Amino acid sequence: MAKRGSISDFDWWLLLAVLALAGIGLIEIYSSTIHTKYAGLHMRQFYWVLLGLGLMWIAVLIDYHYIIEHVPLLYLFGVLLLVLVMVMGQSNLGSKRWLGYGAYSIQPSEVFKLILVLTLARYFSERRNRELGWLDLFQVGILVIIPFALILAQPDLGTALTFFPILAAGLWLAGIRWKMVVTLGLAVLLVLPLGWFVLKPYQRDRLMTFAHSDADPLGRGYQIAQSKIAVGSGGLLGKGFLNGSQNRLGYVPHRHTDFIFSVVAEEQGFLGVIVVLSLFAFVIFRSIQHARTARDRYGVFIVMGVVALFAFHVIVNVGVIIGFMPVTGIPLPLVSSGGSAILTTFLALGLVLNVRMRRYVN
Amino acid sequence: MDFRYFFSDDTKSQIRRIPVVERLLAGVFIVLAAGFAYLQLVESPRYLDLAERNRVRLIPLVAPRGRILDREGRVIVDNRSAYSVALMRENVKNLDLSIDAIAAGLGLDRAAILDRITKFKHTPSFQPIIIKEDAGGADVAFVEAHRLEYPELEIMLLPRRNYPVNGMAAHLLGYVGDVTPEMLGSKEYANLQAGDVVGKSGVEFTYNDLLTGKDGYKRVIVNSRGREMGKLEQVDPVSGRQLKLTVDLDLQRVAEESMTDRSGAVVVLNPQTGEVLALLSHPAFDPNEFAGHMGAAQWQAIQNDPNRPLLNRAIQARFSPGSVFKIIMATAGMEAGTVTPSTSYHCAGTIMLYGNLFHCHGGHGHGTVGLHQAIVNSCNIFFYNVGKTLGIDRISYYAHKLGLGDKTGIDLPNEDPGLIPSPEWKRKVRYQPWYLGETISVSIGQGAVGVTPLQLVRSLGGIAIGGIFRQPHLVDGQQNEGITTPNSNPVDEKFDLRPTTVDEITRGMWGVVNEGGTGTRARLPDVQVCGKTGTVQVVGSGAKVKQTAGSEFGNHGWFVAFAPREHPEIAVAVIVEHGGFGGDISAPIVHEILKTYFEKKHIKPSPHVPLQLTAMPKELAVSHPGSKRVVN
């Protein structure tokens, strides 16, 4: 029953929006790095985007049912990579996240986001027509907790947190009952304080900073404070390309990666912000439409898993920029500089396009 | 494997649950957009201001103070550039974490740093706080090497006051320091701000307005690490006015050297003009230490030093004039007509007056003494009688007229007026009647009489030129073109003395030095020196303690002199505390100073002053008549 799909069913509009976002990303990376030691990074990003498009194309061509079939293998492969990171990963700024050497390294935790989407899609799709029970929850819990723990140990809280929206979306669509939601919610509330002790000191710092971001603008709240200044000073129309003082003079930290949206906000103003947010909303809601028309439950769960992952990144990243959320270290999909993230995002959107191409047509 | 798909074809139950997700996401996006709208549309002006404050930094360019020169244009005080480590409060990330490392790296005290921060609490945070002055190479290296960890540290090149070493002329020059909060509140310092440097004492204080330059500033664009990326505007600082003093560095140096390890004061004046040629007080302090931010402990130590190095003994200490006062008595007596050159009294070594036994020095007495011999040998008994005849009211009147008991008006702060007692003063201040016995004590400069060395030298110098008491000053308008100093119109006091009085007094003082009197050691071979010794007994707590030179209760030795005898142009007062007899300890110092003055004038003019050959015979001619008179 595997469908070939046809090019006429390919969603060119979605691809166009994705390319627009990637293009904006290149421009903003150029603006935020041109006068720094990272100058030229936009070209590297450009090659990553090209590579991402290639991978996306492959992800579109291979029938997603074929991929779903090999989920157990993918899952085992992914866990193996995470274990390898633990054993022989490269250290950077106190955490081991990369496999490989120098520029040619990948972040297995990034790849695992997709593996988890596929794993949960298969699990939830193949449950018989019965209500979601505690046994399911337990089984899913095991599947999630293993990679989650491995990634948390790197430590990479930001990536580990992205598992929650994927899981939540899956549980919701699988028909979780309110009673269970409440019970789970209470359980999480009880466990949360324990989590505090698992966090590394810098992670606690970030949370504390978020809680009192205005108390100490020159201390740990520096990043958020400077980011807000960049955003606020951008005004309606922005200061113009290459003209943001917060950007140019280096007041916004990590401005070509996690804080790149503050550069957009400062240089392109509120209008630029609305354009970019609209593009993201377009990608998200158009993808959700593809979930509705999916041929089968696999398709629904894959698309909605990707949507959850993608939307979570956008919302958390943008929320951090304006101080709505603590600093988590989550990049803005398609825009932030970073190879692994670009590849993962293109692969994920490739899966959405894949499902759409093989949609159910009357 | 196909059977699995059979169960997964039905997606209705999933699709039913999608709208909730959509609504949730739409809600979140609207909230985010609203957040941006608030920051970028509503709060935009505030954040624009913050961004501008990030970007633009105002860097003060401190103007150097004017240099201070001596009368010949030699530099006494100038400025040097020194590195300072400044704390930029705007760049502080977490001082609690960094302060210990900073303190250790710069060799500072943690508490001292915090102290300075507290002191500048109310100043705008963009203003740098200097935490270490005169930073050395190691400090600069430390700051440069830790730019990332401690962006709050900054190296600044600032002008610093450079005073002579060893505290030379410290009291007359004064010192500079940070403007205090109290000063900032006052009107005359209205245009200053915290951290500015002002003169705190001496000439630095009196002429602060002239010496202070006008600070400039530059507005620069800085990056997040505080590094300058471009300049928007610069206003150059304007250096303060250069100030030329009346002081002669050569005389000052000789005076300093002769007073080494001694406590006391020296004042050298030109009685004809009131110019102060040298002025010192020992023990001194090092003004260079005050130019920085002196630690509280160091300040306390100087303040509480029992030797009181901060006290300017030349103008702020009230000394008993001792026998030097006899010159005032003799002048008063002759002016009042109670004493004539032929007046004589019998000195038997002691005398009973008003029921008290008064002593002369030397034990057996001087026999019958006239005025001249009384001055030359400093006979107490003679002046007891002068005082008894004059009475306290007339003594007080003449003493004031001759320049004692009132401020001289010198251009230095906190001058002491001294004290000339009178029955009225005693009633008002001590609530007691005047005892006639006190008049006898006053007659030889004891009792409540108090003078500053400056007053005494001005008084005797003024008597020597016929009763003109010039206002002493360190700066005058003639030497500083375009500067209106407080002394441009000196308030001189005149009290015309009869020529016979001046003649007789001068002759007496000449005898003190040249007729085997008490001041023989001040004698010069070519110049007619006139002087008067004084020795002040220092009384310890209640009991008279053995008076040994150098001990805490040793006598203070005075010597006040002028020269040449005719048309005196230099007057010197020297007091050495606990130094012994004035003739022994102070007269040689006067000798050195006068020798230097006249050698310089007649034999060795300063290299850069052209030789004035015509002036020499004229000066020599002045001193000749004097020497003839001696033969008479």
SS3 B53: helix
Q: What is the C-alpha to C-alpha distance for residues A3 and A122, in angstroms, rounded to an integer?
A: 18
Give yes or no for a contact between B229 and B223, defined as CB atoms under 8 angstroms apart.
yes
DSSP B427: I
Q: Can you list the alpha helix ranges (DSSP code H) found in B304-427? A: 325-336, 371-376, 380-401, 423-425
Nearest 5°: the CA angle A20, A160, A301 is 65
Of the candidates B65, B483, B491, B478, the residue with the CA atom closest to the CA atom of residue B287 = B65
* pLDDT tens-digit map of B445-467: 999 999 999 999 999 999 999 99
Judged by a CB distance cut-off of 8 A, whether residue B627 touches chain A is no
Sign of the CA dihedral with B456 first, then B461, B463, and B469 last: negative
SS3 B614: coil
**If you average pLDDT over residues B99-107, what whole number do you get?**
88
Chain A residues near residue B26 by CB distance under 8 angstroms: 281, 285
Nearest to B15 among A220, A231, A292 (CB): A292
DSSP A338: -
DSSP B451: B
Torsion from C-alpha of B35, B40, B42, B46, nearest 10 degrees = 120
**DSSP string computed for B529-568:** -EEEEEEEPPP-SSSPPP--TTSTTPPEEEEEEEESSSS-
> Please, which residues bridge with residue B94 across strands?
none
Of the candidates A350, A331, A354, A348, the residue with the CA atom closest to the CA atom of residue A45 = A331
Q: What is the C-alpha to C-alpha distance for residues B255 and B259, in angstroms, rounded to an integer?
A: 6
In the block, residue with structure tokens 């020194």: B82
Cα Rg, chain A, nearest whole Å: 20
SS3 A333: coil
Six-digit token pair at A167?
């899981």
Give yes or no for a contact between B376 and B517, defined as CB atoms under 8 angstroms apart.
yes
pLDDT of residue B542: 38
Six-digit token pair at B157?
């090149």
DSSP B238: B
Judged by a CB distance cut-off of 8 A, whether residue A171 touches chain B is no
Give yes or no for a contact between A303 and A355, defined as CB atoms under 8 angstroms apart.
yes
> Please, which residues bridge with residue B78 across strands?
B162
Q: Which pLDDT band, with edges at 50, 70 and 90, does B628 fall under?
A: very low
Chain B residues near residue A245 by CB distance under 8 angstroms: 51-52, 54-55, 221
Six-digit token pair at B151?
């962006």
SS3 A34: coil
ipTM over 0.85: yes
Nearest to B5 among A1, A292, A300 (CB): A1
Give yes or no for a contact between B25 and B18, defined as CB atoms under 8 angstroms apart.
no
**If you average pLDDT over residues B563-574, what whole number do you get?**
94
Q: What is the C-alpha to C-alpha distance for residues A152 and A141, in angstroms, rounded to an integer?
A: 15
Of the candidates B285, B314, B309, B311, the residue with the CA atom closest to the CA atom of residue B410 = B314
pLDDT of residue B410: 92
Choice among B98, B258, B320, B323 that is catalytic: B323
Phi and psi at B368, nearest 5°, equal: -85, 120
Q: What is the mean pLDDT of chain B?
A: 85
HSE-up of residue B203 (Cα within 13 Å, Cβ side): 32
pLDDT of residue A207: 67
pLDDT of residue B82: 87
Pairs of CB atoms within 8 A across A/B = 153
Nearest to B8 among A269, A277, A297 (CB): A297
Phi and psi at B324, nearest 5°, equal: -60, -25
DSSP B187: S
pLDDT of residue B3: 45
Q: What b/e readout covers B411-420, taking b as 16+ CB neighbours within 10 angstroms?
A: bbbebbebbb
- At residue B381, does pLDDT exceed 50? yes
Strands B68-69 and B56-61: unpaired
Are B40 and A1 a contacting pair at CB < 8 A? no
B130 against B296, higher pLDDT:
B130
Are A288 and B21 a contacting pair at CB < 8 A? yes
Q: Which of B6, B7, B9, B11 to mutate to test the interface with A (most CBs of A within 10 A)?
A: B11
First and final CA of chain A: distance in angstroms? Answer: 16
Give yes or no for a contact between B600 and B570, defined as CB atoms under 8 angstroms apart.
no
Look up residue B613 and give its amino acid.
L
Q: Which pLDDT band, with edges at 50, 70 and 90, does B552 fall under?
A: low
Task: Check if B344 is active-site.
Answer: no
Q: Which helix (H) or strand (E) holds A351?
A: helix A339-357
Give yes or no for a contact between A25 and A45, defined as CB atoms under 8 angstroms apart.
yes
Mention every residue, 6+ apart, whose C-beta is less than 8 A from residue A290.
A11, A299, A303, A352, A355, A356, A359
Six-digit token pair at B101?
């490392």
Chain A residues near residue B31 by CB distance under 8 angstroms: 324
Judged by average pLDDT, the poorest of A284-293, B21-30, B53-62, B179-188 is: B179-188
> Please, which residues bridge with residue B266 across strands?
B280, B574
- At residue B334, does pLDDT exceed 50? yes
Judged by average pLDDT, the poorest of A296-300, B99-103, B249-253 is: B99-103
Q: Which helix (H) or strand (E) holds B59?
A: strand B56-61
- At residue B6, does pLDDT exceed 70? no
Give yes or no for a contact between B530 and B561, defined as CB atoms under 8 angstroms apart.
yes
State how far the alpha carbon of A289 is from the alpha carbons of A11, A214, B16, in Å.
11, 41, 13
Judged by a CB distance cut-off of 8 A, whether residue B228 touches chain A is no
Q: What is the C-alpha to C-alpha distance for residues B247 and B479, in angstroms, rounded to an integer?
A: 11
Q: What is the C-alpha to C-alpha distance for residues A139 and B409, in angstroms, rounded to an integer?
A: 100
Q: Which of B32, B147, B219 to mutate to test the interface with A (most CBs of A within 10 A)?
A: B32
Judged by a CB distance cut-off of 8 A, whether residue A236 touches chain B is yes
* pLDDT tens-digit map of B401-431: 999 999 999 999 999 999 999 999 999 999 9
Mention every residue, 6+ apart, whose C-beta is less than 8 A from residue B267.
B276, B278, B279, B314, B453, B454, B457, B572, B573
Judged by a CB distance cut-off of 8 A, whether residue A32 touches chain B is no
Cα Rg, chain B, nearest whole Å: 36
Give yes or no for a contact between B321 and B558, defined as CB atoms under 8 angstroms apart.
yes
SS3 B80: strand
DSSP A28: H
SS3 B419: strand
Q: Which helix (H) or strand (E) holds B199?
A: strand B197-199
pLDDT of residue B165: 85
DSSP B69: E
Look up residue B581 and give its amino acid.
F
Give yes or no for a contact between B497 and B327, defined as CB atoms under 8 angstroms apart.
no
* pLDDT tens-digit map of A84-140: 988 877 776 666 777 776 666 778 888 899 999 999 999 999 876 567 888 888 999
B88 against B434, higher pLDDT:
B434
In terms of C-beta density within 10 A (0-12 exposed, 13-18 middle, 19 or more buried), how is residue B93 classed?
A: middle
Which parts of chain A register pLDDT below 70?
1-5, 92-95, 101-104, 128-130, 206-220, 360-362
**If you average pLDDT over residues B466-489, what whole number do you get?**
75
Chain A residues near residue B98 by CB distance under 8 angstroms: none
Q: Which of A177, A223, A245 to mutate to test the interface with B (most CBs of B within 10 A)?
A: A245
Are B8 and A296 a contacting pair at CB < 8 A? yes
Of the candidates A334, A314, A344, the residue with the CA atom closest to the CA atom of residue A21 = A334
Chain A residues near residue B93 by CB distance under 8 angstroms: 218-219, 222
**If you average pLDDT over residues B507-532, what whole number do you get?**
92
HSE-up of residue B612 (Cα within 13 Å, Cβ side): 12
Of the candidates A52, A21, A22, the residue with the CA atom closest to the CA atom of residue A350 = A52
- At residue B4, does pLDDT exceed 90? no
Q: Which helix (H) or strand (E) holds A44?
A: helix A41-61
